[in-house]
Structure 1
């Protein structure tokens, strides 16, 4: 049996879907404000870990932004986002099954790295801006930036994996970082 939603809610979702399809970053923030709690709850129930659930939540909204054209206007965002959250949490669990984690019993409880605060809206916006800037790079530059900063590979390791010269890796990396610096220069500006 289909639930009836108020006309204004259906229209708000349709307007939000259209704004998402047009790449409107404000629409992503509005979507996060409306459904962030739901997405976090779905992820946290599956992962039983607040930090990993927060990471999945950020990932879900990035995926929603990237795949906005798949959302059908007039439908409810909640089930769509909950499905993305569930799939992302399953992906995390599968990755961890392949790579077992160490025991927390050997961790130093005084280590400041063990204490994390939830991300602020500004931090989430910064993460989205950086990810969008990286996705906007040329494919060969994007691959090198990801291998360098996300996977933690050195220039030599990247060159070996891609079967290209180290000098090529360095020049592509330099070009990519220059483009990223230009695209993200607004992040270093003080707020007015």
Structure 2
């Protein structure tokens, strides 16, 4: 039996069926190869350098175009389907990214758990969204890791040292709080830094791939910046 390769129905026929009220034509228009390729290109371009994946952006675009088709917003007399769908998809993705940015900007106004420090105080004034989101997540992860280490090594006072740092205390003040010497605080802080680096997989590893070293170095610097006294 010869192999039969299914092809998209001609776009003009799909549009005519859409005009005639065929509900299945909407779904087939969204499955049209040229349409999907166009949306993927738009999603890749619009999400470049942002935390939102192009797959999520494309899915949002498909949903918005489908809703617009269902509402009969597309009018063939005013232009071709592909440019119209591309415009709808582009603005749907822009709107998605705007809402995501607003959500994370609001989260930066929250306090780091267990402290009175705002998350916005941990990022530079000239941050971009992707850096802010990554660093905000890192703050939470570091705080969580320190709390776990404090339970694992209750006599080392790791959590109290961390809280002292975010409160702006000096080595002398933290040493007084813990009832130890300043040199002991310095030594324990280096211990904590090393344990955090190990927990995040940031210590040197001969098995690391060359292409991973740049990302690993960046994460290492960020993690250490959270622990710098």
TM-score greater than 0.5 by the shorter chain? no
Q: Which has the larger radius of gyration?
A: 2
- TM bin, normalised by shorter chain, reads 0.3 to 0.5
Question: TM-score, structure 2 length as denominator?
Answer: 0.35
Higher share of residues assigned helix: 1
